Every structure is written in C-alpha cells, then in structure tokens.
Amino acid sequence: MNTIDLRSDTVTLPTTAMQQAMQEVPLGDDVYGEDPTVNQLQDFAAELTGFEAALFVPSGSMGNQVAVATHVGRGSEVILPYGAHIYEYEPGALAVISGALPRLIPAPLGIPEVADIASQIRNNIHQAPTELICLENTHNKAGGTVVPLERTREIAELAKANNLPFHLDGARVCNATAALNISLEEISKPFDTMSLCLSKGLAAPVGSVILGSKEFITKAHRYRKMLGGGMRQAGILAAAGIIALRDMRERMVEDHERASELAKGLAGIEGIFINMKTVQTNMVYFNIDNASEIVDAMKTRGILCNALTSDSIRLVTHYHITDDDIEKTVQVIEDVIERRTVARAAA
C-alpha cells in the first residue's frame, strides 16, 4: 500500500538534484565561516529577499528563537498574532531562551488589526516593555492563510513609529509569495528580520535561514552558537537549500491547487465542516467530531494526517502529493465517516 502522508510539508524527501548536489559541493568549517556552500546559500538567500545578510540555521524554530533573542532583552514583551508558532509550538523557548513574555493579538485568518497591536505596545516603568512585533506568513494555525501586503506595510509603519523591530516567521513565506504572486523581495521589504524554512514546501531535508542587516546577522551568530547551531561542514545541507530556493518555489502553486481540490471534495461530505476562507495555500483544516478516531481509521487505509484538537484535522499538500492522492483521500475520508455513522447507528 502506497502511503499518502498529509501530516505536514516537512515530510518531503530531498529531490534527486538535491541528493546529487549534496555529494558534489565544496565544504569547509562553517563555524569559521569557511564553508563555501553555506556562504553561497546565505548570499543567495539575502539577494533573493533583499536583506543585507543571511544566517543558515538547522531549523525554523532555531531561526525564530535566535532572531527573537537577538532583538529583545530579558523581561521584555513580544507582540505576536494569536496562534503564532513562535509561542504555540516552540516549547516555551521565548521564555527559556529570551526571558521574554508573549503578548498575543487577535488575528482572524492570521491577520491582526493595526489598532489592536497599537493598543498593546507598552513603554512605561510599570510594565514589561514591548521590544518586538512579529507576524507569521503564511499563518499555520489559521489554516496556512496569507497576510496581505498592505496590512504588513501598515504594521511596519506602526513598528517604525514606535522604534520597534518587526520580524516575520516566514517558515512558509514562499507559499505566501506564490499565493500573492509577488517576489520574495517585495514581501520581505516591510520587515527588519525574517526566518525562512528550506525544509517545508521547498523539500530540502534540513535547514532555515535568518535574514536581516549585516549588523543583526553578526550578532545572531553568537546566539546560533550558544544554542548549538554551529554546524561545521554544513554545506552538505546548504547544497540542498540552494536548490530548494532556486528550483522549488514556482511549483508551490500546484500544492495550493491540490489543497483547494481536496477542500472542495471534503466540503461536500456530511459531518465535515470546512471554513473555505481558510483554504488559501497548501493546508486544509476541517472540523469533525472525535477527530482522532478518523485519523486512526485513515491510517489503517494508508493515509496519514494529524488531529490538531479533539475536533479538528489538518491535511497538508506538498511535493510528493499527486492529483490521484487527493482523489483517494476524499474517497477514503468519505468512506471512513460513512462506516462510523453506520456503526454508531447500529450500536
């Protein structure tokens, strides 16, 4: 049985071109800044996004947390959209590494209101001072939703007016650029810093980059080393990252189309609720009662996915998912729900 793995776009395997490049690239000790392939990846990422400099790190979480630690001091507050990965899924790192507090802002579809952020900026002797504003694009927990460029620019203006840095968790920023049909440079412009994952929809096996000014990236080096992210001959990984950034961005619209087809198929099934407004990129979140029962039943039929809560399931399309996989997934989910309904009626 061929497994259809819809748990995340992190499950992708490196392409043949990546595996070949990994065997051939020149290597050196990156902690000394001497790995030519890491340097090439960093230069390429900086050039594509319009930032001055980049830093290769092992994961998206480290990218975010090194960036936050570089920006803020202990006892500060970090403004984040509700559901932000930096707070929800990076096991307390904000508190442990930076000693910072999260200030969560309502963000329907991942999009916070500027006024809501403005009202939460603190700068007085009695409270933890705000030292950073973050955004996530695409916003994972809201459904892989896209934050419009205009809103991003407005938040950037607010940040600037308050002398605050503005960071993007851009783990899936390439999905956002594909959905908005804009360049990486355009989407990056409003931000002071950004993290970008190479190992999600772009299919590299490992790694992320942090982007920012030369001064910021020099400072960030120290936190990467502190957290154990100095990787020596890391060019073997960066080689795949270069191909990810160069060749894998354009095809992301295919993942988005397949997610849209999947959502349309599921929306017609009784017992499932999908807010179609959330289906904008490569994720499909839907509600169903006793979600883990459905996930277990799907697993026995060769389809893997994650229950995020007791009544919600996330499906993520990626490089290895085909049109046939989408069709089969809809059929299996329909069948699994139908069987459950029959079994419940008989009980």
Question: In the complex, which residues of this chain contact ligand TLP (CB under 6 A)?
Answer: 8, 10, 59-61, 64, 85, 89, 136, 140, 169, 171, 197
DSSP secondary structure string for all residues of 26-40: ----GGGT--HHHHH
| Exposure class string for 325-342: b at 16+ Cβ within 10 A, else e | bbebbbebbbebbeebee
* Choice between 173 and 272, CB closer to ligand TLP: 173
- Phi/psi at 258 (nearest 5 deg)? -70, -40
Place of tokens 């990252």: 241
Cα 282 to chain centroid, rounded: 11
Q: In the bound complex, what is the minimum distance in angstroms from residue 339's beta carbon to ligand TLP?
A: 28
* Choice between 10 and 275, CB closer to ligand TLP: 10
Q: In the bound complex, what is the minimum distance in angstroms from residue 307's beta carbon to ligand TLP?
A: 13
**Bridge-based pairing state of the strands 312-316 and 306-309:** antiparallel
Q: In the bound complex, what is the minimum distance in angstroms from residue 283's beta carbon to ligand TLP?
A: 8
* Choice between 179 and 269, CB closer to ligand TLP: 179
Chain position whose Cβ is nearest to ligand TLP: 60
* Choice between 197 and 259, CB closer to ligand TLP: 197
Q: In the bound complex, what is the minimum distance in angstroms from residue 197's beta carbon to ligand TLP?
A: 6
Q: In the bound complex, what is the minimum distance in angstroms from residue 86's beta carbon to ligand TLP?
A: 7
* Choice between 210 and 269, CB closer to ligand TLP: 210
- Do 272 and 287 contact (CB within 8 A), yes or no? yes
Taking residue 96's Cβ as centre, other Cβ atoms within 10 Å add up to 11
Cα 195 to chain centroid, rounded: 9
Q: In the bound complex, what is the minimum distance in angstroms from residue 279's beta carbon to ligand TLP?
A: 16
Question: Crossing angle of helices 16-24/235-247, nearest 10°?
Answer: 140
Tell which residue, 339, 169, 319, 334, has the closest CA to residue 247. 319
Alpha helices in 57-131 (DSSP H): 60-71, 85-88, 93-98, 114-118
Q: In the bound complex, what is the minimum distance in angstroms from residue 194's beta carbon to ligand TLP?
A: 11
* Choice between 60 and 229, CB closer to ligand TLP: 60
CA count, 13 A, side-chain hemisphere, 34? 5
* Choice between 103 and 172, CB closer to ligand TLP: 172
